[in-house]
Each structure stands twice: as structure tokens, then as C-alpha cells.
Amino acid sequence: MAGFTVAIVGRPNVGKSTLFNRLIEQRKAIVDDISGVTRDRQYGLAEWNGKTFNVIDTGGFVPNSEDVFEKEIRKQVVIAMQEANLILFMCDVTTGITDLDAAMADLLRRSDKPVITVINKVDNAQRQLDANEFYSLGLDPLHFLSSISGSGTGELLDDVTAHITEDLNTVKPETELPKIAIIGQPNVGKSSLLNALVGEERNIVSDIAGTTRDTIHTHYKLYQKDFILIDTAGIRRKTKVHEDLEFYSVIRAIKAMDEADVCMLLLDAEKGLTAQDLSIFSLATRKGKGIVVLVNKWDLIEKATNSARDYEEMLKKRFAPFTDVPIIFTSVIEKQRIFKAIEIALDVYDNRRQKIPTSKLNDIMLKAIESYKPPVVRGTQIKIKYVTQLPTYTPAFAFFCNLPEDVKQPYKNYLENQLRGKFNFSGVPVRLFFRKK
Ligand code: GDP
Ligand code: GDP
């Protein structure tokens, strides 16, 4: 299995996004007291005791009437049961069991995926007693939690990670061919891109099964190179019911991403970079995947002298700090630069796989360190003696030094920029570690 996905379901205002923030340890969600406030769906990567998993907060729905509201929430629960590996069902102790909670519990009791029920806002001893009411839902296990203070989250994470038998970082590739995932929001041109490539019928070697049945893997041969494209676009088309649900496209995009070496992120040139695109971008970065950005529908943009350059600059500002990313302006309709995009994705694959010989790495990096030394802390000069690339899938480097804790972000940035300047890591997130020598 490539990646374990946990979906948090529950009524609005029970505290889903508060828990989400705790699990991913980032303060990125906007938590609001008003029920049903518009909010982007959130997804991120959580880590506990060396295990990582995807978390999706299914929460961003805005009701316009009670009926539609209940229907939509039910739909989300059904999809969560189909798509996620585990479901966290959240209730709120301060409201007790509502009709909607009971309706959701009815659906979840029939789930063949594990369901962990979380009673939130259990902030004190009185609420601990009140929470016992929820045993009547007939769901097992039950966790009492205070997402705001974090009490109870450790036990919850122990319980969740006990279900993960394989870590997504240690999954062995079942093939040595480069895998490129085509991701992006509905209507950016994913299917059109695939069709344009499929149009070159002779390039297709075979259809092979994905590791899950949610993604399609197609083996291509172009420019004497073999590679696999992973897409989810076709599947979305087959199941019409889900077409409108952005939740569905997000959860599939994450699966495709987990199975890929390189993500080809399509943007709509007219719409620009949305918050959702940026979340997908940073998730791919955190997962250490190679990234290529395609600004598609470039044919629709009125071109001034510098428009591509300005556009690229504007995107890079938003991608910061990870700006060493290829950006390609494509028109799938006019078949402009789509093969170029594939070529660049394959270059990124090679960049991500490269192993730099230790002697060469030290020659170059020690010189860079010599010409701009790390700072002196508490009267002692930080000294970096030796650099080596670690044997990981995504490039990672260990710098051995006397005071590893004292190497701060600005100097780390300097070292990363030097690495990127001297070697080609275009489109590849790199990690730097500092160790006591
Ligand atoms: P969501 O709509 O389910 O995502 O809920 P939110 O995470 O936006 O939380 C709704 C409200 O409940 C916010 O005002 C939170 O601060 C509050 N809240 C969340 N968790 C707790 C908790 O553990 N205790 C208390 N007292 N309030 C909480
Ligand atoms: P998907 O939902 O990401 O798979 O997007 P589709 O491939 O279905 O494309 C959505 C719409 O955008 C269709 O009407 C396409 O014809 C159109 N489209 C796709 N690529 C381009 C492009 O490069 N230029 C223009 N003008 N339209 C495009």
C-alpha cells in the first residue's frame, strides 16, 4: 500500500480542523466559531513514532438548507468509507448526540474500514462524565479528547498508527520505471493531456494495474525512454456521482502522489495558483516528491513581451522557499510543449535519483563552507568537517560538525543554495541533516 489515509468526518463545529492542526502540527487552518463558514478542505501529513499518514479534514462544506446539508454530509461519510483507510468520526460532548451524529453513526457502523470515534471538547472532569453518553452510539473504540489542549491525542495517535503496518516511506518500488503523476484541480486539462498522449497510440506499451484500483498506470515509450503515467482523471469520469465533489479529486490526487516519483502539477493559466494548488504543492514537497509545474491553457492568455517571465516570477514568490522548480507554459489544445513537459519530468526523475560521489561532494561543499563560514556561537566557531549523501530515495545530506544544534536556518539555506548551484536538483526537494561528528 502506498500511503495510509485517515479521514476526519463529523458535523461542522465539532472541532475537526482543530484536531487536524494538532495532527499535522501546523497552524494553517482558519478555525472559526461560526458554524458552516467557508473553508478549503484540508489535507496534510502527520507523523507519529516514525510512521507517517495522510490526514484529510472533510470539513469545508457550506450548508444552504438543512436538507442539502444532511445529504452532503452523508455523501462525505460514504466517500470517506470508500476512499480512506481509517475514519475518525468526531462528535462534540457539549452538544451531546444530535440527530445528525446518530445518522452518521448508522452509516459508519456498516463500514468495513476501521472507524475510531472521537468525542471532542472533553476539557474537564465533568465533561469526561458527560461523554459516556456517546457509548450509546454503539461504536467502538471511543476516545475522549480535548483537541484544544491536546489531552488524549497521544493515545489516539497510538491507536491510529497501530493500523499502519507499512510506512509509506519504506514502500519498495514495484518497478524501476519512472512514475509521473498527473495532478491538478478539476478542469485544468488532465484528461486532455492524457488524450493528447494517448493519441500517440504507438507510444503506449501496456496498461498495468496501479497499486490501488483508484489510479490508472499507463506504461509509455517516448524518446527511447520508458515511463509510467499515473492518472486519476479517467476514473473520475466513470463515476459521475462524484464528479462535483472536490473532496474526491483531492483524495485521489494524494493517492497518485504517493505512488509517484514525480508530480506534474497542472494549473489553469487564467485562474492562477489557488490555495488548494499551493497545499498540493507543499504536500508533494513534504513527501519529497519531484515536482514539475505546468501552466496550462497558455493559449488563452494575451501575451505581452514578458508575460511568461512575470508569471513565473509571481509563481515562484508563492512557492518560496522551494523555488527551484521547473515551470512550463503549455497548451494541451494546441499541443504546445506537452512533450517538453514530459522530458522535463524525466529530467527531474534523474535529478532525484542522482547519487553524488562523496569525494566530489566534499571537494565542492567544503570550499563553499570555507568561503562563507558558519557563525561563531558562544565563542566557538561552528566547524563542518565532512558531508555525505544519505542512501535515501529523496536526496538527503548529512553534514558532520561540532555543534549541529547551532546551525540555523539562514546557514542551512546557504548550504542548500550552494548544493543547488553546483549540482542539478531542479524540481527536487532536498533535506539537510546536521550530525555530531
Ligand atoms: P470543525 O468545523 O469541525 O472543523 O470545527 P473547528 O475545529 O473549526 O472548531 C469549532 C470550534 O470548537 C472552535 O471555536 C474551536 O476553538 C472549538 N474547539 C475545538 N476543539 C475544542 C476542544 O477540545 N475544547 C473546546 N472547548 N473547544 C474546542
Ligand atoms: P480535467 O478535469 O483536468 O481532466 O480537465 P479536461 O481535460 O477535461 O479539460 C477541461 C476543459 O479545458 C476542456 O473543455 C478542455 O477542452 C479544456 N482545455 C484543456 N486544456 C486546454 C488548453 O490547453 N487550452 C484551452 N484553451 N483549453 C483547454
Give a yes or no: residue 174 inside a domain: no
**Known binder of ligand: residue 210?**
no
**Per-residue pLDDT, 344:** 96
Residue located nearest, by CA, to atom 20 of ligand 2: 189
Residue with CA at minimum distance from ligand 2 atom 17:
189
CA separation for the pair 414, 408 (Å, rounded): 10
**Mean pLDDT, range 315-343, rounded to an integer:** 95
CB burial of residue 84 (10 Å; 0-12, 13-18, 19+): buried
CA of 192 to the centre of ligand 2 (A): 6
On the question of pLDDT at 37 being above 90, the answer is: no
Query: What is the SS3 assignment for 56?
Result: strand
**Judgement on whether residues 188 and 126 belong to the same structural domain of the protein:** no
190 is in an annotated binding site: yes
ipTM confidence = 0.67
Count Cβ neighbours within 10 Å for each residue of 96-107 and write b for 16 or more, e otherwise: ebeebbeebbeb
The three three-digit cell numbers of residue 305, written as one number:
513581451
Which residue among 187, 193, 244, 265 has the greatest number of ligand 2 atoms within 8 angstroms of its CB, and so is best to mutate?
A: 187
Distance between Cα 147 and ligand 1 center (Å): 7
Pocket around ligand 1: residues whose beta carbon is below 6 Å from it?
10, 12-18, 31-33, 59, 120-121, 123, 146-148
CB atoms under 10 Å from CB of 136, counted, come to: 10
Whether residues 85 and 152 share a domain: the answer is yes
Atom 7 of ligand 1, nearest CA residue: 15
Looking at residue 94, what is its pLDDT? 96
Amino acid identity of residue 38, one-letter, is: T
Query: Average pLDDT for residues 204-211, to the nearest whole number?
Result: 44
| 8 Å CB contact between 215 and 256 | yes
**What per-residue confidence (pLDDT) applies to 209?**
42
Question: In ligand 2, which atom is closest to the CA atom of 185?
Answer: 3
CA distance 248 to 236: 8
In CATH, what number is assigned to the domain containing residue 30? 3.40.50.300
Instruction: Say if residue 368 is in the same domain as residue 274.
Output: no
Structure-model confidence comparison of residues 79 and 119, the more confident one: 119
Contact 12, 35 (CB under 8 A): yes
Q: What is the pLDDT of residues 243-292, one digit of tens each?
A: 445 666 777 788 889 889 999 999 999 999 988 889 889 889 988 999 99
Query: Do residues 306 and 432 share a domain?
Result: no
* 373 DSSP 8-state letter: P
Q: What is the CATH number of the domain that holds 378?
A: 3.30.300.20
Examine the domain organization and report whether 38 and 133 are in the same domain. yes
| Contact of 258 with 283, CB cutoff 8 Å | no
Whether 106 contacts 130, CB under 8 Å? no
Q: 290 and 152: one domain?
A: no
Kindly report the pTM of this predicted structure: 0.70
Total structural domains within the chain: 3
pLDDT for the residue 222: 74
Q: What is the mean pLDDT of residues 406-415?
A: 94
Q: In percent, how much of the chain has pLDDT > 70?
A: 83
Is the domain of 217 the same as that of 320? yes
Please tell me the distance between residue 13's alpha carbon and the centre of ligand 1 in angstroms.
6
Alpha carbon of 245 to ligand 2 centroid (Å): 18
Q: What are the beta bridge partners of residue 117?
A: 89, 142
Q: Does the annotation place 11 within a ligand binding site?
A: yes
Examine residue 104 and state whether it is found in any structural domain, yes or no.
yes
pLDDT for res 65: 56
CA distances from 279 to 52, 83, 274 (A): 17, 20, 9
pLDDT tens profile 327-338 = 999 999 999 999
Residue carrying the nine cell digits 494538532: 22
Q: How far apart are CA 217 and CA 213, in angstroms?
A: 10
Structural domain including 209 reads 179-353
Q: What is the pLDDT of residue 40?
A: 53
Q: Known binder of ligand: residue 235?
A: yes
pLDDT, residue 200, reads: 52
Helix (H) or strand (E) holding 322: none
